Chain A
C-alpha cells in the first residue's frame, strides 16, 4: 500500500484553484488591451473610423452565438457529471461548433474591414481593434482545440464522470472567453 498525496489544506481541487488564478491573471491581460483601445479611441489621424465600419447586427449575432455556446458548455458539464456521455459528446461538439462559427464570423468581419480599408497598419483604430479582438480570437481558437480534444477523448471512451473536473475547467476557460467578449462587444461596438 503506497501513500499518495491526496490531502489538500483547503479541500479544493488544485487544478481548479490554479485555473481561477489564471483567469484572474488574464483579467490584467485583457484590461491592458481594452485600456489601450479606450485611450486611443478617437485619436486616429486617418479613417476609417468605428462608426463607418462596425456592423452591429452582424456582431450581435456573433455575440448571441457565443452566449449560446456557453449554454452548450454548461450542459456538456452537467451531462458528464451525471455520466451521460452520449449527451456529453453532443454538447461538447456543439460548443466547439458554435466556437468555430464565431471564429468564422470574425474572419468574415475582418476580411470586410480590410476591404473597406481598415488594416492593422491603417490607424490607431485598426491596430488597437485588431490586436484586442485578435487576442480574443486566439483565445477562442485555443478553446475550440481544447474542446475538440475532449470530444475526441470522449469518442475514444476515455472521458467519463471521473474526469468531470477536466470538463469543468474547460468550461471555466470557455465561459471566461465569453465574458471577455461581452465586455468587448459593449466597449468596442456599442459604446462608440
Chain B
C-alpha cells in the first residue's frame, strides 16, 4: 500500500489515474442520470432548480476535468514511455505530484456536495452552480453569494497545476527520452497527439488561471474585473475563458484521435494510411485551435468583422479534421479486419465524431448558430464529439491496452455487448437533442412545459442515458471478471506494430531489459522494407537501477488544497499553513537524493 502512495513509476501512476478518473466518470454519469430523470417528463420535480444548476455544472466540470482529461492522462502515463522506448517519464516525482494534485483537486471540488451546513446553507449541497464555463457576472459575489463558485474557481486552480506540471513533463519526455533511432516521424501517432496536446495544455491553462484569478479577486477582494459599473466588461471573462476553452476541447479530442490512429492499423493489419499527413493535421489542429475561440460568442454582439473572421477560421479547422477521417477510413479499406471490441470502439469513434463534427460545422455559421446556441442542439454536438468521440476513443484504448497494463484480456463477448449497448444508448440519448434544441428547448433549464412539444423526445433521450449506464455496468463487470478469470495476455496479444508490444504484459518495472534501437515506424512488423525487430531479452544483462518512491510529491500536493481552504473559509492563517506545507514538500523533494 505504501508503495502505491510513494510510487514514481509511470505505470503505477497511470493505473492510479485510470481508476480515480473512472470513479469520477461514474460520479459525473450519476449526475447525468439525475438530470435526465428530471427531464424525462415536463414539469419534473425530482430536484429543485437550484440543485439542477449544481447538477449540470458539476456534470460538465467533472466530465471535462476529472474524467476525460485524467483518463487520457492514464494513457499518457502508462503508454507513452513504452511507445518511445523509455524507462519512465523525464520527471517521475513531478508525475506523482500531478496525480496527487488531481486527486485532491477532484475531492475538493466534490466536497461541495456535502458540506453545505458548514457554510450555513439550508441544505447539504453547495456545489458549483454557474455552469462549467462560469460566466461573469453571474459568478460575481453579488449574484452568487454562497461558497458554490468559490469551490469551482479554487478547485479548477488546483487542477490546473496538475495539468501544467504533467504538460511540462510529457513534452520533455517525448522530445528528450526517445530510444535511439526513434525519430519524431517514427513516433506512434498516439505519442504525437499527446505531444501536441501537452503544448495546448501549457499555453491554454495559464489563460484560465488568470481568468479565475480575476474572478477570485472580484469575489474575495472587492475588485471589479468583470463589473460593468466600474467600466469593465463581463465579456472579458468570456474571451479569457474561451481562449482556454477552445484549445481545451482539442486537448480532449486529440488523445482519442491518437488512440484510434494506433488501434485501426493493428486490427486492419495495415499501416496507418498517410501517417505524415495525419501527424501534420494533428499539429495543424493544435495551432488552428487557437484561432477559433469566439465562435462560442456569436450571440454576444462582437460585430460583423469578428464574427466573420471566427466563422472562417472555424470552418477551416474542419479541414485537417476531415483529412484525418479520410485517412482512417483509408487505413481500414482493403485491410484484413479483425472485429475486436477495440476496433468496434475505434470505428464507432469515427462515425460518431463525424456526426459531432457536422453539427459543429453548422455552428460555424453565425446566423445559424444564433438559432442553435444555448439550445439542446449544442448539447447534442458536445456529446457527439465528447462521448461519441473522446469516450469511445478512450474505450478503444482501454480494450486495446488493458492486456498490456494488467496481463489479462478483457472479455470480447462482454466487450461487444458493452459497445452495442453504449452505441445504441448514446444515439438514443443524444440524437434527439438536435431536434429538441431546434424545436426551442434552451440549455440549462431544470424543467420545461408540455406545450413545448419536446416531452417524448426528452423521454427517449432519458432512456438512452440509462442504456449508457447499463453498458458501463457491463464494462465494470468485465473488469471485475477479468481480474481473476481473464485470459492471460502474452507480450503481444494483437500483433501490434509499436514498441509497447515488445515487452511483457504487464511490463517489468524497468520496462525494457535493453533499450531498443529503432529503425522504422513499425518496428514489430515485417514489411516489404524491413524485418521485424528482435524483442528485448527476457532478463536485463546487468541490474537496472530503478528510482525508489518518494513521499514529497504527495506532501507538496497537500499544500494546494490547504491553501485553497483559506479563501474558502475566509481565514488567512490557513493560507500560511498551506504555503508552509507546499514549501516543505518542495524543499524535501529538491534535496532528496533521487536518481532517475
Number of interface residues of A (CB under 8 A): 37
Most chain-B Cβ atoms within 10 A of its Cβ — which of A12, A17, A25, A126? A25
Give bound CA distance, A36 to B217, whole Å.
14
Which residues of B have CB within 8 Å of A18? 90-91, 168-169, 171-172
Which residues of A have CB within 8 Å of B211? 32
Please tell me if the beta carbons of A25 and B236 are within 8 angstroms of each other in the complex: no
Q: Does A165 contact B (CB under 8 A)?
A: no
Please tell me if the beta carbons of A10 and B180 are within 8 angstroms of each other in the complex: no
Residues of B162-194 at the interface with A, using a CB-CB cut-off of 8 Å, are 164, 167-169, 171-172, 175-180, 182
Q: Does A40 contact B (CB under 8 A)?
A: yes
Which residues of A have CB within 8 Å of B207? 28-29, 32
Inter-chain contact total with CB atoms closer than 8 Å: 122
In which size bucket is the chain B interface? 35 or more
Q: Does A191 contact B (CB under 8 A)?
A: no
Least Cβ distance of A167 to chain B in Å? 14
Which residues of A have CB within 8 Å of B515? 7
Closest to B231 in A: A43
Q: Does A78 contact B (CB under 8 A)?
A: no
Please tell me if the beta carbons of B203 and A28 are within 8 angstroms of each other in the complex: yes
Q: Does A44 contact B (CB under 8 A)?
A: yes
Q: Render B222-242 as a binary contact track against A, CB cut-off 8 A, 1 for contact.
A: 111100011110001000100
Give bound CA distance, A26 to B167, whole Å.
13
Stretch with Cβ within 8 A of B (4 or more), from A54-62, A90-98, A116-124, A178-186: A116-124
Please tell me if the beta carbons of B229 and A21 are within 8 angstroms of each other in the complex: no
Least Cβ distance of B332 to chain A in Å? 32
Give bound CA distance, A12 to B207, whole Å.
29
Knowing A32-B211, A36-B236, A39-B236, the reply to whether A131 touches B168 (Cβ < 8 A) is: no
Q: Render A1-29 as a binary contact track against B, CB cut-off 8 A, 1 for contact.
A: 11111011110101001100110111011
Please tell me if the beta carbons of A29 and B236 are within 8 angstroms of each other in the complex: no
Q: Does A75 contact B (CB under 8 A)?
A: no
Please tell me if the beta carbons of A29 and B209 are within 8 angstroms of each other in the complex: yes
Please tell me if the beta carbons of A36 and B210 are within 8 angstroms of each other in the complex: yes
Least Cβ distance of A2 to chain B in Å? 4
Q: Does B595 contact A (CB under 8 A)?
A: yes
Q: Render B85-114 as a binary contact track against A, CB cut-off 8 A, 1 for contact.
A: 011101100000000000000000000000
Please tell me if the beta carbons of A3 and B210 are within 8 angstroms of each other in the complex: no
Closest to A22 in B: B168
Give bound CA distance, A178 to B175, whole Å.
28
Q: Does A68 contact B (CB under 8 A)?
A: no
Least Cβ distance of B180 to chain A in Å? 7
Please tell me if the beta carbons of A5 and B88 are within 8 angstroms of each other in the complex: yes
Which residues of A have CB within 8 Å of B210? 29, 32-33, 36
Please tell me if the beta carbons of A127 and B90 are within 8 angstroms of each other in the complex: no
Closest to B183 in A: A9
Please tell me if the beta carbons of A9 and B230 are within 8 angstroms of each other in the complex: no
Which residues of A have CB within 8 Å of B205? 25
Knowing A45-B231, A120-B221, the reply to whether A17 touches B209 (Cβ < 8 A) is: no
Please tell me if the beta carbons of B222 and A120 are within 8 angstroms of each other in the complex: yes
> B176 touches which one: A12, A22, A36 (CB < 8 A)?
A12
> A124 touches which one: B87, B231, B596 (CB < 8 A)?
B231
Give bound CA distance, A36 to B231, whole Å.
13
Which residues of B have CB within 8 Å of A8? 176-177
> A36 touches which one: B180, B225, B230 (CB < 8 A)?
B225
Q: Does B457 contact A (CB under 8 A)?
A: no
> A120 touches which one: B176, B213, B223, B240 (CB < 8 A)?
B223
Closest to B235 in A: A39
Please tell me if the beta carbons of B206 and A28 are within 8 angstroms of each other in the complex: yes
Give bound CA distance, A33 to B212, whole Å.
12
Give bound CA distance, A66 to B184, whole Å.
40
Please tell me if the beta carbons of A14 and B172 are within 8 angstroms of each other in the complex: yes
Give bound CA distance, A22 to B172, whole Å.
11
Please tell me if the beta carbons of B231 and A25 are within 8 angstroms of each other in the complex: no
Give bound CA distance, A127 to B217, whole Å.
9
Closest to B84 in A: A9
Knowing A5-B596, A28-B207, A121-B223, the reply to whether A14 touches B176 (Cβ < 8 A) is: yes
Stretch with Cβ within 8 A of A (4 or more), from B39-47, B321-329, B394-402, B541-549: B541-549
> A4 touches which one: B90, B164, B179, B595 (CB < 8 A)?
B595
Least Cβ distance of B406 to chain A in Å? 25
Q: Does B214 contact A (CB under 8 A)?
A: yes
Closest to A26 in B: B206
Q: Does B540 contact A (CB under 8 A)?
A: yes
Q: Render B455-476 as a binary contact track against A, CB cut-off 8 A, 1 for contact.
A: 0000000000000000000000
Please tell me if the beta carbons of B232 and A14 are within 8 angstroms of each other in the complex: no
Give bound CA distance, A18 to B198, whole Å.
12
Which residues of B have CB within 8 Å of A128? 225
> A21 touches which one: B168, B182, B545, B596 (CB < 8 A)?
B168
Which residues of A have CB within 8 Å of B176? 8-10, 12, 14, 17
Q: Does B584 contact A (CB under 8 A)?
A: no
Closest to A124 in B: B231
Closest to A131 in B: B217
> A32 touches which one: B221, B224, B240, B542 (CB < 8 A)?
B240
Which residues of B have CB within 8 Å of A25? 164, 167-168, 202-203, 205-206
Please tell me if the beta carbons of A36 and B214 are within 8 angstroms of each other in the complex: yes
Knowing A2-B544, A5-B596, A14-B90, the reply to whether A40 touches B214 (Cβ < 8 A) is: no
Which residues of B have CB within 8 Å of A22? 168, 202
Closest to B174 in A: A9
Closest to A29 in B: B206
Knowing A17-B176, A32-B206, A36-B214, the reply to whether A3 touches B224 (Cβ < 8 A) is: no
The 22 sampled A-B contact pairs (Cβ below 8 Å) are A1-B543, A2-B542, A3-B540, A9-B178, A9-B182, A14-B176, A17-B172, A17-B175, A18-B91, A21-B171, A21-B172, A22-B202, A32-B206, A32-B240, A33-B210, A36-B240, A39-B236, A121-B222, A123-B231, A124-B232, A127-B217, A131-B214
Residues of A at under 8 Å CB distance from B?
Answer: 1-5, 7-10, 12, 14, 17-18, 21-22, 24-26, 28-29, 32-33, 36, 39-40, 43-45, 120-121, 123-124, 126-128, 131, 149
Known: A4-B545, A18-B171, A123-B231. 4 other contacts (CB 8 A): A18-B90, A36-B225, A36-B240, A44-B231
Closest A-B pairs by Cβ, 3 of them: A127-B223, A29-B206, A32-B210
